[in-house]
Structure 1
Amino acid sequence: MPKFQDQEVIEIVRGGSRLLLAPQAGGRLLSWHLHGASIIHWPDAADWTQPALVRGGNPLLFPFIARHRVDGRIGFWRDAQGVVREVPLHGFARDLPFAAQVDEDGASVRMTLKDSAATQAGYPFRFRFEAVYRLVDEATLEVSLITTNTAEVSDAKDSSDARMPYYAGHHFYFALPHTQRGEATLTLPRNVYRHQLADGTTTEPQAGATRYAFDDPQIVDRFHCIEGEPETPVRIDIPTLNRSIEIDLKRPDSLPWYAVTSWTLAPDADFYCVEPWLGLPDAIHNGLGLRWLAPGQSETATLRIAVSALR
């Protein structure tokens, strides 16, 4: 395996497109370059002692997304039987090593995480969580998240005990120089927006716009909840880089994506995160996007990211 920042990585190349991935660090897509230009941001000096906290790439969010609270305490969730368990911010997947297999054509990689002693205390379910990255062509990246409940009904007292709750998502760090945010725009399908309050509750939906400038402070940490099928892709236009990025959320046989979240760390951060999610924070308690898998059931959520020059 090639080395990057003194770490072993998987490299996927097609034409002028190059992906770097670190399965041992949460199944992380580290970066995507197209003809040398950074599409997915990764910092030059990353702290590999805590890779889940590095601001870059695409951390995989599973089994739950963002922050959860029980009786005001952050980092906990309550199951249907009233048992309270710990859950890390954005779930545990981004902290754990994945197994990886590169396809024979060298254009895709499948990374897999299974339940273990490390996951059972906080999430007592048997599962297989997979992320498949495939370069369709040099400018198009397809990503699938596949979640399977690997339990059998005999593992539980009854079939309802074996059902598995989850809501997964992406955390793409798109490269965007902070000085160019004012000229760059985010275009969305028809949506309503929400955000999470300091006490952990989620606001009621309000009608959202379909176009924002990236220097608009209102879109930091905003959940753009998609209404119906997305008739248009999510689109990032960066005129100063002559770059357009389309995120197609309407793929055949895919689950519907619940929301697209926009977030950045600070006004001077040279990235902006555009994050397709299957559910919202605290969905295990509020039901906003909460999904359930019966024993043996599997679901796939797919999207495509296409890069082109502005027309």
Structure 2
Amino acid sequence: MFTITQEQQQYKTYILCDETTDSQVEVVPERGGIITRWRIQGQEVFYLDTERFTHPELSVRGGNPILFPICGNLPDNTYIHNDKQYTLKQHGFARELPWEATEQNTNEKASLTVVLNSNEQTKAVYPFDFQLAFTYELQGNTLEVRQEYQNLSSESMPFSAGFHPYFLCGDKTQLEIEIPSTRYQDNRTKEFRTFDGNFDFSQDEIDFAFGQLSSRSATVTDNSRKLKLTVDYDDFSTWLVFWTVKGKDFYCLEPWSATRNALNTGDNLTVLAPGASRTASVKLTANFF
């Protein structure tokens, strides 16, 4: 049986539940359309900095933030379009703006659609008319995010998009990481290195971008929590970023449609013709063992 309920916490929160498997997700549309929590049989899958979440002026550190219209950051936070310079903060603005819950369904799965439309605030930094419609679907131990990006402008619209999921973890030295790539770029040094499946978690920060993905799936097995996490994605996602900070109980495995600065370089950039749309899907599966 699938249910969707609403609860007034700091924000109106939608709780999607699969009662058969005792799994549930919490969605807060007005705080960046974000999924804040994902529980299976009472165990948290996502990490959430709950204290930071109470401060609307701060970015959310936890859950599954939405990245649009850029992933990562731009040099000096700027890009050029039609000979005009614009400023965009890291990961764009979608994770900071209020979204609207528009549709829900409890037939065969629990699903909730949230929508973000362009407005004067977005067009000041990104001069395009658009609509994003994301549908969160919960069924069993699987959470799928179906995305639709629509260009409502009279000119072509370039963008990149992705997610920044924070996964709660135990002892990081007990993580087994399987990413379908043989090399990565270290964002701190900008150097490319070969990947042998191992990470040095004694570093203060790990920020590695993996391109040339050879399959549509990646897994992380947390042996200390007895949790295997699988991220499946379609061909919209061309990069996976692994990020973690020493002393924090999370790691992030982030599917991105393009790497940093794509709005300036054009690398893997998605460009929608006027009136065109693009769909994509990311599926997360969590299995405790």
TM-score, normalization by structure 1:
0.84
What is the distance in 2 between the residues matched to 1:256 and 1:47? 29
Confirm whether residue 273 of structure 1 aligns to residue 252 of structure 2. Answer: yes
CA contact (8 A) 1:57 1:172 kept: yes
Distance change in 2, residues 1:219/1:267 (3 Å): closer
Q: Identify unmatched segments of 5+ residues in structure 2.
A: 1-5
Deviation at 1:309, TM superposition (A): 3.2
List 4+ stretches of structure 1 deviating above 4 A: none
Distance change in 2, residues 1:14/1:51 (3 Å): farther
Partner residue in 2 for 1:300:
279
What is the distance in 1 between the residues matched to 2:26 and 2:206? 27
CA contact (8 A) 2:205 2:246 kept: no
Partner residue in 1 for 2:86:
85
Q: Match for 1:98: what amino acid?
A: W
Q: CA RMSD in A?
A: 2.1
Partner residue in 2 for 1:3:
8
Deviation at 1:197, TM superposition (A): 5.2
Distance change in 2, residues 1:244/1:214 (3 Å): farther
Q: 1:208 aligns with which of 192, 195, 209?
A: 195
Confirm whether residue 240 of structure 1 aligns to residue 220 of structure 2. Answer: no
Q: 1:54 aligns with which of 52, 56, 60?
A: 60
Partner residue in 2 for 1:184:
175
CA contact (8 A) 1:226 1:260 kept: no
Confirm whether residue 23 of structure 1 aligns to residue 29 of structure 2. Answer: yes
CA contact (8 A) 2:166 2:252 kept: yes
Partner residue in 1 for 2:42:
36
TM-score, normalization by structure 2:
0.90
Partner residue in 2 for 1:123:
126
Distance change in 2, residues 1:256/1:44 (3 Å): closer
The count of corresponding residues between Structure 1 and Structure 2 is: 280
Confirm whether residue 174 of structure 1 aligns to residue 167 of structure 2. Answer: yes
What is the distance in 2 between the residues matched to 1:242 and 1:139? 14
Sequence identity percentage: 25
The residue matched to 1:128 in structure 2 has which SS? Answer: strand
Deviation at 1:124, TM superposition (A): 0.7
What is the distance in 1 between the residues matched to 2:233 and 2:183? 16
CA contact (8 A) 1:52 1:59 kept: no
CA contact (8 A) 2:101 2:112 kept: yes
Q: Match for 2:72: what amino acid?
A: A
The residue matched to 1:89 in structure 2 has which SS? Answer: coil
Deviation at 1:221, TM superposition (A): 1.1
Q: Match for 2:163: what amino acid?
A: H
**Deviations 1:177-212 (Å, cap 9, x if unpaired)?**
3xx1011121111343123357xxx55x54433x23
If each structure's strand is expressed as a fraction of its own residues, which one has the higher value?
A: 2
CA contact (8 A) 1:226 1:257 kept: no
Confirm whether residue 68 of structure 1 aligns to residue 52 of structure 2. Answer: no
CA contact (8 A) 1:186 1:214 kept: no
Confirm whether residue 163 of structure 1 aligns to residue 156 of structure 2. Answer: yes
CA contact (8 A) 1:25 1:51 kept: no
The residue matched to 2:224 in structure 1 has which SS? Answer: helix
**Deviations 1:27-81 (Å, cap 9, x if unpaired)?**
1110101111010111242343336512111110001112112xxxx221112x2
What is the distance in 1 between the residues matched to 2:260 and 2:18? 36
Which residues of 2 match residues 221-260 of structure 1 at below 5 A?
221-228=207-214, 230=215, 233-250=217-234, 255-260=235-240
Q: Match for 1:118: what amino acid?
A: Q
Distance change in 2, residues 1:171/1:100 (3 Å): same
Deviation at 1:101, TM superposition (A): 2.6
Partner residue in 2 for 1:148:
150
Deviation at 1:97, TM superposition (A): 0.6
The residue matched to 2:105 in structure 1 has which SS? Answer: coil
The residue matched to 1:190 in structure 2 has which SS? Answer: coil
